[in-house]
Structure 1
Amino acid sequence: MGLCLSAQASAFGLEDVIARAETLAAEPYQAPDPIPGFMQNLGYDEFRSIRFDPAQQLWSPSRTRFQVMLVPAGRTYRHPVRINIVDAEGVHLLPFRKELFSFGDEALRKKVPADLGYAGFKLTYPINKAGVQDQFLVFAGASYFRGVGAGDHFGLSKRGLALDTGLLSGEEFPIFREFWLIRPHPQASSMKVYGLLDSKRVTGAYEFTIHPGQPTRVEINSTLFTRERIELLGIAPLTSMFFYGENTARPLGNWRPEVHDSDGLLIHDGSGEWSWRPLINPTRLQTFSFSTRNVRGFGLFQRDGSFASYQDPEADYERRPDAWVRTREDWGDGRIVLVQIPTSDETNDNIVAFWSPPNTVAGGKRFDFRYEIDLGRLVSLDHPLARVQHTFVGLGDILGGGDVENAYRLIADFQGGPLEGLAADAPVTADVTAMLGGRVLEQYVEYVEQNGHWRLSILAMPAEGKPLELRAYLKRDATPLSETWTYTLPTENDIKGNGK
C-alpha cells in the first residue's frame, strides 16, 4: 500500500533534509530556545497530569490506521521541536494547540503558554487489535525514540546518535530539532518520518520507514555532517536498564528475583561469530569495546521471558522488547561499545550499546549509514548456534561453588541450535579462556535433564587486583556448537560483598 496521498507529499524526501543538515553544519551551533522555567520545574505528577486527548489524534477523522498523539514540552523535555505534516497540500508546520490537552490542575492550565510547543509525538496503530489505536513508537526527548512490537511493554530506548558516551570528558546529547511526518494512505501498513538532528559538533538527516508488527521494524537511512572533532561517535545507540539479575546478588531489601529491561548484549561479527555478553550493574563506570569487521548486527535482549524471574505484574519485565540493529551495508572496521553505569534503582537507564568507528572523527566530514532496527519479543535472527539462556555467578570457596579461596564459580546454560536432539552423553566439551592473567582451575560440561540445557561450569581465579575476564563456547570435536559467552567480573563486585 502506498505511503503518501499525493505527488506533493512524495516530492519531499531525505535529500531535502540532507540539504538542511549540510547547511546547518556550516553555521555556528545555536541551542534551541528553552521553555519557561516553571514548565521545566514541574514535578513528575504535575507533568503527568497534562494529557493529550486521544480523540484529537491527527488523521483520526479519516480513520487512517496510523494516527498521531502529541507530547507537550515540559519537565525534562525542555526544548520544543518543530513538527511538520507533509500531505496533499504540501508541507506545513503543526501549530501548538493547548486545547488538545487536559490538565489535572486548572491553575497550571492557565499558566501554560499558548505557544508552548511540542516535545515530540507518539504514533498509534491497531498493532494488537483491529480498530484499536495503540501507541507503538514514541519520539520525544533529545534524539530518543522508543518502540514495541505487538503485545509488548515499553522498555529500552533507541537514539539517533551518541557522542562521547562513557568518556570522562562528558557526553553530548544531540537533539532532533525538527520532524516531517508523511501522511500515509488510510490503509497503509507503513509510514515515513524524517528528522533533522543537531548538536554542537554534528548535524544529521534521518529517514525512518516504520513497519508496525511483531516485531516492529524501523528502517533508517542517515547522513551526518561533523562540525568539530568527535572522540567517540556512537551509531545506532541503544539505551536500557539493568538493576540486578540472575548473575548478580539481590540488593538488600529487594524482594523481586530480577529487575531489568535487558539482560545481555548480542553481537554478530562479519567473521560469522555470534557472541553474548550478560549485563551487570557495576560499582563504577565500565566501558568495553568489542572489535568488529563489517559487523552484521548487534542488540540488547531480554532473553529471560519468564514471569517467574521477575514476579512483577505491573512492570511486566518479561514483556520488555529486544532491539536488534541489522546493518544494510559494509560498515568496515569498528567496534561495538558497551557502557555500564552504576545505578541504585530501576529508574535510571544505565546501559548503552552502539557501533563506533575505530578512531576519532574529524570535523568537516560526511558519513552515511543505513541500518534497520527490529523491536519486539519475536525478533527473528539467522542464528544457527546454541544460545546462552542463563548465567549464574557465585563464590568458589563455598558449598556448591568449590574449595578455592578467591576463586569464583560461573555457570552458563546453553540451549537450541545443534545441541537440540543430542543424547545426554554426547561428547560436548568447551573451549574456555581466561584473560588478564586469570586462571581456569576447572571446567566441565553436563546435560541438565530438568531444564533441557547444556551447562558449562567454570571455576576460575582472577589475577591479583584485576577483574576476572572469561570467554567460552561449547564444541564437539573442533566444531563450535554455541555462540561465544563472554563475561567480566570486576574486582569490586556484589558476589564477593566488596561492591555495593
Structure 2
Amino acid sequence: MSTPLNRRQFLEGAAGGAALLSLAGPAAAQAPTGAASFNIPSLVDGQRFDPALVVDAARALAQRPLIPLAANDLPEGYAALPADQYAGIRMQPGATVWAGENRGFTVEPLHRGYVFSNPVSLFTIEEGTVRRIGFDRSKFDYGRVAPPTGNADLQFSGMRIAAGLERPFEVAVFQGGTFFRALARGQNFGAMARALILRPGETRGEELPFFRAFWIERPSPAVGSLVIHGLLDSESVAGAVRMTLRPGDVTFVDVEMTLFARQALDHVGFGCTSATFLSGPQSRRVFDDIRPSIGEVSGVQMQSGGGEWIYRPVNNPATLQVSSFVDENPKGFGLVQRERDPAAFQDDDQRFELRPSVWMEPLGDWGAGSVQLIEIPSDSEPNKNIIMYWRPKQPLAAGSETSLSYRQAWCWQPPERPPLALATRSRQGKGSQGRRRRFIVEFTGDKLADAALIASTRATITAQPGAVHNVRLWPYPERKLMRVGFEVDPGNDNLSELRLVLQSGGQPVSETWLNRWTW
C-alpha cells in the first residue's frame, strides 16, 4: 500500500478542491473578484471581528452541501511547476505582513502553484477590524518562473510565519488541506499536523478537509504569541479552529475547535500528526542506502488516562498496519524523535536528528476512544507514512456540534516526562534458531544509576502470540543504562504483539515498551 510521491503530494496540496461558498445574498456585489472570492458579510474587509463569527460561519456552511470547484484559474503552467521552481517563488524582502513593525511575527502569504492549486483567503485583524490581504504579484520574487500576466486575484495557498525580533526564524507553515507544521528554535521542519483527519487508511477512501480562510490577529510584541482563526470545510463537516502560537525553545500551539457535522462521521481523528520513517535498527525493511537510518521520528509516546507511560518504536512494514490503543481521557500522546545523535543518520542534508517531536495534550474531557497508529509501507522519503491521532469511540451524529481543545508541543522532547527510565534504542535481527527474532532494547534514566535498584530489577516480557526465550539484562550504572535482550518464537504466526517493562518490587522502573512484530 505504498503511496506514490506525486499522489501523496497532490492529496496534501489539493485537498481544498471546493468553492469558497458565498453566504451572502445579492447585495454582496462588492466581493473581491476572481474565481476564489470569499464572501461572508460579517468577516470581510472593514468589518468588526469577533471569534464567534467564525463559529457562526462554520455553522452556516454545514447547513448547505459542499460545492466543489476545480481550481483551474491558475496561470498557464503553474499547476505543473516542478517542486524546486515553485519553492523559488517567495515574497520580496520587506513585503511580508508586519515587516519592519517589530511585532515579533511576520506572515508571508504563499503563492499558488505546483500541487498547491486551491485558493485560501487571508485576512488580518487590525485593532479589531478585518483587513483583507490582497494578492499583488509585484510583491513576489518569481525566481526562474515567469510572473503571471494580468491583474487576476489569485489569492494564496497558505502562509509561512516567522517569529522573533533580533534573530527571527521560520516557526510555522499552513498550506494544503488542514495541514500545518511548526518547530522549536534550532530545529528543521519534519513532522506535520492536521487540524482534522477523516477516514484514513480505509478502503472507501480518505476524506480530506481543507481550510477556506484564515484571520490572523495583529500581535503585540510584549505578548509573544500569535492568534490565528481558521474556517475549515469538507464534504461531511465544517468547523472553526482557533490556534494560539507561542514559539521558543518549545513551540506551543493551543488548538480550540468546533465542528458541525453535515453527515454522520464514524471515523474522525483529532490531534493528528504524520511523519516519515523508512528504515532503522528496529525495522526489518532494508534499503540500498548509504545512511544507516532514515526517519523524522523514532516512535510513539503515550501517557494513558490511567497514568501508564508507553513507548513504541515505529516501523516501515511490508503491509499496511493499523494499531489501536484503547483508552479514556488520555493525558498525552505524540510522535517523537528520540534519536538525537547525528551518527545514527549520517545525513548532512536532511539532519533528521534536528526534527521536532510533537506532543499532544488533550484539554478537558475527551471521553472513550483510542490512539490510532497507521504505518504505511513506503520507499519514498518525502511520504509521511506514519500517522497518529485520537479516534473518539462515539461517532459524530449528522447535525451535531462538537467542541474540543488540546495543546501541541513542538519540541526536542515532550514537556511531560515520566519519572522512569526511557526506551531510547531498539534493535532486532535473526534469532538463534528457526523463525525466532532477537530483540535488544536499551533503557536510560537516573534510576538506572542506583546499584541497589538495579540488583532487584527484572524484565517482564510477553509476546501475544508467541513465546519469549533467552532473556538477559546488561546493566551499565555508570552510563545510567540497562540493555535488555530476548528472543521471540512466533511459532506459525506472522504477527506478535510484544510488551516489555522493567520492574522492581512490583513497581515499574521503566516506561512500557511495546512493539508489533510482523513477518
Structure 1 residues 413 and 58: CA distance shift in structure 2, 3 A: same
Q: Which amino acid aligns with 1:396?
A: G
Verify the 8 A CA contact 1:240 1:350 in the aligned structure 2.
Answer: yes
Structure 1 runs not aligned, ≥5 long: 1-7, 398-403, 492-500
SS at match of 2:271: strand
Corresponding position of 2:508: 480
Counterpart pick for 2:485 among 437, 441, 457: 457
Corresponding position of 2:55: 18
> 1:408-423 maps to which residues of 2 (within 5 A)?
408-423=437-452
Structure 1 residues 27 and 422: CA distance shift in structure 2, 3 A: farther
Q: How much has 1:170 moved relative to structure 2?
A: 1.1
**Mapped pair 1:116 → 2:154:** yes
Q: Which amino acid aligns with 1:215?
A: V
**Take 1:460 and 1:250, find their aligned partners in 2: how far apart are those partners?**
18
Counterpart pick for 2:279 among 244, 248, 251: 244
Counterpart pick for 1:42 among 77, 81, 90: 81
SS at match of 2:369: strand
**Take 1:407 and 1:429, find their aligned partners in 2: how far apart are those partners?**
22
> 1:179-190 maps to which residues of 2 (within 5 A)?
179-190=214-225
Verify the 8 A CA contact 1:9 1:182 in the aligned structure 2.
Answer: no
Q: How much has 1:105 moved relative to structure 2?
A: 3.2
**Take 1:329 and 1:144, find their aligned partners in 2: how far apart are those partners?**
24
Q: How much has 1:149 moved relative to structure 2?
A: 0.5
**Mapped pair 1:85 → 2:124:** yes
**Take 2:248 and 2:148, find their aligned partners in 1: how far apart are those partners?**
40
SS at match of 2:306: coil
Counterpart pick for 1:150 among 175, 180, 185: 185
Structure 1 residues 216 and 351: CA distance shift in structure 2, 3 A: same
Verify the 8 A CA contact 2:444 2:482 in the aligned structure 1.
Answer: yes
Counterpart pick for 2:499 among 471, 481, 496: 471
**Take 1:281 and 1:112, find their aligned partners in 2: how far apart are those partners?**
48
**Take 1:10 and 1:295, find their aligned partners in 2: how far apart are those partners?**
40
Corresponding position of 1:434: 463
Verify the 8 A CA contact 1:324 1:379 in the aligned structure 2.
Answer: yes
Q: How much has 1:16 moved relative to structure 2?
A: 1.6
| Higher deviation after alignment, 60-69 or 194-203 | 60-69
Verify the 8 A CA contact 1:14 1:206 in the aligned structure 2.
Answer: no
Verify the 8 A CA contact 1:214 1:378 in the aligned structure 2.
Answer: no
Q: How much has 1:245 moved relative to structure 2?
A: 1.2
Q: How much has 1:476 moved relative to structure 2?
A: 0.5
Structure 1 residues 407 and 313: CA distance shift in structure 2, 3 A: same
Q: How much has 1:448 moved relative to structure 2?
A: 3.6
| Higher deviation after alignment, 417-426 or 47-56 | 417-426
Q: How much has 1:424 moved relative to structure 2?
A: 8.4
**Take 1:18 and 1:279, find their aligned partners in 2: how far apart are those partners?**
37
Corresponding position of 2:136: 97
**Take 1:114 and 1:196, find their aligned partners in 2: how far apart are those partners?**
24
SS at match of 1:47: helix
Q: How much has 1:362 moved relative to structure 2?
A: 2.6
Per the normalisation by structure 2, the TM-score is 0.87
Q: How much has 1:461 moved relative to structure 2?
A: 1.1
> 1:44-443 maps to which residues of 2 (within 5 A)?
44-88=83-127, 90-105=129-144, 108-111=146-149, 114-126=152-164, 130-249=165-284, 251-397=286-432, 404-423=433-452, 426-435=455-464, 437-443=465-471
**Take 1:233 and 1:376, find their aligned partners in 2: how far apart are those partners?**
26
Structure 1 outlier segments of 4+, above 4 Å: 8-11
Structure 1 residues 33 and 182: CA distance shift in structure 2, 3 A: farther
SS at match of 1:243: strand
Verify the 8 A CA contact 1:241 1:349 in the aligned structure 2.
Answer: yes
RMSD across aligned positions (CA): 2.1
**Take 1:334 and 1:75, find their aligned partners in 2: how far apart are those partners?**
38
Verify the 8 A CA contact 2:462 2:499 in the aligned structure 1.
Answer: yes
Q: Which amino acid aligns with 1:362?
A: A
Corresponding position of 1:401: none
Corresponding position of 2:66: 29
**Take 2:128 and 2:270, find their aligned partners in 1: how far apart are those partners?**
35
SS at match of 2:456: coil
Identity %: 30
Q: Which amino acid aligns with 1:323?
A: V
Verify the 8 A CA contact 1:211 1:217 in the aligned structure 2.
Answer: yes
Q: Which amino acid aligns with 2:430?
A: L
**Take 1:393 and 1:163, find their aligned partners in 2: how far apart are those partners?**
34
Q: How much has 1:39 moved relative to structure 2?
A: 2.0
| Higher deviation after alignment, 89-98 or 138-147 | 89-98
